[in-house]
Chain A
Amino acid sequence: MKNSAAFWFLAPALGLIAVFFLLPIAAALLLSLTDFDIYAIGDPSTLRWIGLDNYRQVFEHPLFWTALGNTFYFVLFGGPLSVGLSLGAAMLLNARLTCCRTLFRTIYFLPVVSTLVAVAVVWRALYNPEAGLLNQGLSLFGIHPIDWLGDPDWAMPAIILMAAWKNFGFNMIIFIAGLQAIPERLYEAARLDGAGSWAQFRYVTLPQLAPTFLFVALMTMIGYLQLFAEPYVMTQGGPANATLSLVMLMYQEGFRWWNMGFAAALAFVLFVIILAGTMLQLRLQRKGGG
């Protein structure tokens, strides 16, 4: 009796999860075993079960490895940059000497809540090779103008820079919360033991922040592996596919060309990559922490 009451209370939530989450996942898994495409939309009898062939095709796709490389590039450089910026900003805002903390906190958080498309327009202007502020600033130091979004070597760094700027505010807030939870007496004790500010950071702040750090690093990695909106609005994956990410490839195959079977297979490959990355991080952190 007691259990059935609990069940009915849970039922709405479970129902929603089943209909909007589990069912689509199961459908996508089935889809990834077929060659569902525009022909199959027009005439379902042309749908073929091709087993794991889509997965083979993913690894043979001329752009898969490019997209994978670009995505890892983005995660490996953009992730640490973004987390580092967040931590730095959080430390500064948490320092007692800083004035107008609320104001700065708001300013740093502003990019997170602004619309990406609007931000992209502004950054495109900043990155303009001839009139852009960035190149004009660089020219003061005698650096030749860089074609930020038009040069395949510079497009990804440009995207990373913008993404880090856009996203660091969110992690910064989490770090501030983490920093405020560290008891002041630990710092007092460290100072009594003669610890300088670097030693305090290394032996008090970092270990105390470990759980926050794990959370931030994991969420950033998961989010960054799903890079899509930034290149979609800034470069459309170009130039020469230098900013094509896995999710962009999935979008192109799925919604531009309606290769739904292939796109679904790609989605599961990305899922496995994210899962592996998450487990690796958890293990590393456990080892580091323990």
Chain B
Amino acid sequence: MRSRLRLVIVFMFASLLLPGCTPQTASENSITLDFWAMGSEGERVQGLLPAFEREHPGITVRVQQIPWSSAHEKLLTAHVGGTLPDVFQLGNTWLPEFVALRALAPLDNVLSAEAQADIFPGVLAANRMNGHLYGLPWYVDTRLLFYRADLLQQAGVARAPQTWSEWTDALHRLKAHTGHAPLSLPFSEWQTLVALSLQQRAELLRDDGRYGAFSQPAFREAFAFYLGLFEQGLAEVGGELRVGNLYQAFADGRIAMLVSGPWNLGEFERRMPPGLRDAWGTAPLPVPDGAAYQGRSIAGGASLAVNVKSPHPQAARALLQFLSAPEQQLNFYRATGDLPVRKSAWQLGNLQQSARIDAFWQQLQQVQGVPPVPEWERLASLVMRHAERVARGLESQEQALAAIDKETDAMLEKRRWLMERSAP
């Protein structure tokens, strides 16, 4: 008797589960677009979508918010499992990987030629591979200096540093003034080291991405400068863990400078106490001594990509067109603080009025992407692993650079094999 009851319960549960397994078929003239976006973008983009749905009555957009920390794994897993959404946000440096996976639909004709010319060229170039555009830039990201202008002044430095030696000097003075290592330089952010090496015109990879070029003088200089900041006690190894809340530390003056991106514009505006509202500024990254200011920084940001297997390619294109129109770019900037990729959106909103944002505009004129190889994220984590080992005194710079090249070459073995195979 009891076992029969159990059987009934099992069937009840099974019947509950069944509708969840069958694909949801909406009525024929309405389409549901799945859209994955990360972090706060995922949350705030939802405010823009009602306008899109009004313009396109047949389309409903379902946004899924994914945390940045697990986004890369999640997207890859979803691709393998065949559950990638129609449209998704993609970090620029992940693009080559998804192109190698053949997960992305080419987007060459989504925007007109004029509209494409309206996008920062370095950023657009980072989305082009094998002659096709695979990601539509959504917002730009580059790294530059955030600093406490008041502390800098008190330490006797008149303006934000423009060269590496001015930078080191300013940091020494700040340290003498505040008594703390003034620069926050976490090893989890490879962008800073790579941006410094781009200023030295480092290639990073040579022979069309076949081998590592980290032992070459250009990267070597940047590596030495970066690690010198720790050696001289201007940045603290693992300081970000000790500091805990960065914004609190920046307000206390325990941290007086950091290299960061546009998302922190909004964060600092929100989180600085009223007395410090005007006490901080941004400036393009300092350049190697003797080089022209401003130098380069890294072309980052996120793009929108379309799943090659999406059953609704037209609707997906419409969503992309909507989100990259200058007005929506401006709305998105107002909601998130993410900087628009369309130059006309900057004019439309008069963004350069703010000196802090203008620094980004200046820096964005000279940005460069990382080598477009699918292995990039892995390579970056390898470089930072060795940088951390040197900073902690576990190996010398020479050993680290040799090891980085050796491990890079091993990592790129398959890429070389594929390139040789496809070559005649």
Contacts and interface: CB of A to CB of B under 8 A. Distances in A.
B396 to A, nearest CB: 15
B77 interface: yes
Contacts of A255: 73, 76-77
B389 A130 contact: no
B244 interface: yes
A239 B239 CA distance: 11
Nearest to A254: B73
B334 to A, nearest CB: 33
Interface in B383-424: 385, 388-389, 392, 394, 403, 407, 414, 417-418
B414 A35 contact: yes
A129 B407 contact: no
A239 B388 CA distance: 9
A69 interface: no
Dominant secondary structure of chain A at its interface with chain B? loop
Interface string A256-284: 11100000000000000000000000000
A225 B70 CA distance: 25
A44 to B, nearest CB: 11
A240 B76 CA distance: 26
Interface in B273-300: none
A38 to B, nearest CB: 6
B241 interface: yes
Given A128-B244, A147-B238, A151-B238, A62 B394 contact: no
Interface in A139-193: 147, 149-152
A253 to B, nearest CB: 9
A24 B403 CA distance: 36
Contacts of B394: 240
Interface stretch (B21-29, B94-102, B309-317): B94-102
Contacts of A152: 392
Contacts, number: 60
Contacts of B102: 42-43
B101 A256 contact: no
A144 to B, nearest CB: 14
B243 to A, nearest CB: 9
Given A41-B101, A43-B102, A240-B389, A257 B378 contact: yes
B101 A46 contact: no
Interface string B249-285: 0000000000000000000000000000000000000
A212 interface: no
A39 B72 contact: no
Interface residues of B, number: 29
A257 B73 CA distance: 8
B244 A41 contact: no
B80 interface: yes
Contact of A46 (B242, B377, B418): B418
Contacts of A62: 403, 407
Interface in A22-59: 35, 37-39, 41-43, 46, 48
B343 interface: no
A129 B242 contact: yes
Given A152-B392, A239-B388, A256-B72, A39 B242 contact: no
Contacts of A38: 76, 97, 100-101, 374
A241 B388 CA distance: 10
A256 B379 CA distance: 12
The interface centre, meaning the residue of A43, A130, A150 with most chain B CB atoms within 10 A of its CB, is A150
The interface centre, meaning the residue of B79, B102, B187, B238 with most chain A CB atoms within 10 A of its CB, is B238
B338 to A, nearest CB: 25
A238 B238 CA distance: 10
Contacts of B414: 35, 37, 39, 46
Contacts of A256: 72-73, 377-378
Given A42-B100, A152-B392, A241 B238 contact: no
B244 A130 contact: yes
Contacts of B388: 239-240
Contacts of B241: 129, 147, 149-150, 239
The interface centre, meaning the residue of A147, A238, A257 with most chain B CB atoms within 10 A of its CB, is A257
B238 A42 contact: no
Interface in B302-359: none
A147 B102 CA distance: 45
Interface of B: 72-73, 76-77, 79-80, 97, 100-103, 187, 238, 241-242, 244, 374, 377-378, 385, 388-389, 392, 394, 403, 407, 414, 417-418
Interface of A: 35, 37-39, 41-43, 46, 48, 62, 128-131, 147, 149-152, 238-241, 255-258
Give 3 nearest A-B pairs by CB, closest first. Answer: A150-B241, A150-B238, A42-B101
Given A41-B101, A152-B392, 11 more contacts: A37-B414, A38-B76, A38-B101, A42-B100, A48-B417, A129-B242, A238-B187, A255-B76, A256-B72, A256-B377, A257-B377
